[in-house]
Amino acid sequence: MTRSLYTDRADAGRALAAAVKRDLGGTLVSGTALVLAIPRGGVPIGRDVASALDAELDLVVPRKLGAEGNTEYAIGAVMHDGTLYLNPEALRNAGARPEYIEAEKSREMREAARRLEAYRDGRPEPVLSGRIVIVVDDGIATGATMIAALRWVRSRGARFVVAAAPVAPPGTVEELKGEADRVVCPFTPEPFYAIGAFYENFAQVSDEEVEGILQEYWKRPPGGPRPR
């Protein structure tokens, strides 16, 4: 087992924020970036990235579709509006039945919609068209949820799309380069274990923590400093 790369999400958020600023550089000068965090674990890290860029912060909620009998094995992911990504290789490996996929898709669409409503509490959706959009998570494994999110963001008219996470396997990073205009990932260890293996403290983030982070960030005055 490798040693942990990060102490906790705060440590990972600082590292990712620095990497995004370094890697994007002048790209951000041409417009105000929008950071879309994937809940729950991606929200504290997305907050740190948005804070470092003086950017807007909001949510994107892709939901993993797990294989029948092995829900940890991702065969794809779906967005709240039905935008669907299916991994052909994973589908073959899992022998996924169409009726199972449809049932999982419906169930996870409902959960994505529930989370959006609960976390955003009536806040209007951000405009994506013509913007630089940075999709942030606390780590990427298979890439299914990130790919679904990136494709949804692209379909909403974003002009420059970034995938950002503190840690991911090299193969997944290469795959994401075909989906995003830029992929920012400070660490790409090989072999790759579960995301939590690269954190000393990978405690689950609660719904209440997500809501608190977002509400605090959204209270800042226009153009003013971001709360931390």
- Tokens for 177? 């380069």
Contacts of 46 (CB under 8 A, 6+ apart): 35, 36, 37, 38, 57, 136
- This model's pTM is above 0.85: yes
pLDDT in tens, 30-78: 568 999 999 999 999 999 999 999 999 999 999 999 999 998 899 999 9
pLDDT at 2 over 80: no
Matching residue, tokens 């669907």: 84
Return mean pLDDT, the chain.
92
pLDDT at 3: 60
Q: What is the largest CA-CA distance in the chain?
A: 52
- Structure confidence at residue 228 as a pLDDT band (50, 70, 90): very low
- Report the C-alpha gap between 54 and 133 in whole angstroms: 13
All domains in the chain, ordered by first residue: 9-62+125-131+140-218 (3.40.50.2020)
Nearest to 187, CA basis, from 90, 179, 197, 178: 197
pLDDT at 25: 84
Percent of the chain's residues with pLDDT above 70: 94
Burial of 189 from C-beta contacts in 10 A (0-12 / 13-18 / 19+): middle
Identify the helix (H) or strand (E) that includes residue 85. strand 84-86
- Structure confidence at residue 197 as a pLDDT band (50, 70, 90): very high
- Report the C-alpha gap between 65 and 212 in whole angstroms: 27
pLDDT in tens, 61-120: 999 999 999 988 999 999 999 999 999 999 999 998 999 999 999 999 999 999 999 999
- Structure confidence at residue 172 as a pLDDT band (50, 70, 90): very high
Burial of 88 from C-beta contacts in 10 A (0-12 / 13-18 / 19+): exposed
How far does Cα 216 stand from its chain's mean position? 20
pLDDT at 26: 75
Report the DSSP beta bridge partners of residue 84: 78
**Across residues 148-167, what is the average pLDDT?**
97
pLDDT in tens, 123-157: 999 999 999 999 999 999 999 999 999 999 999 99
CB atoms within 10 A of CB 39: 24
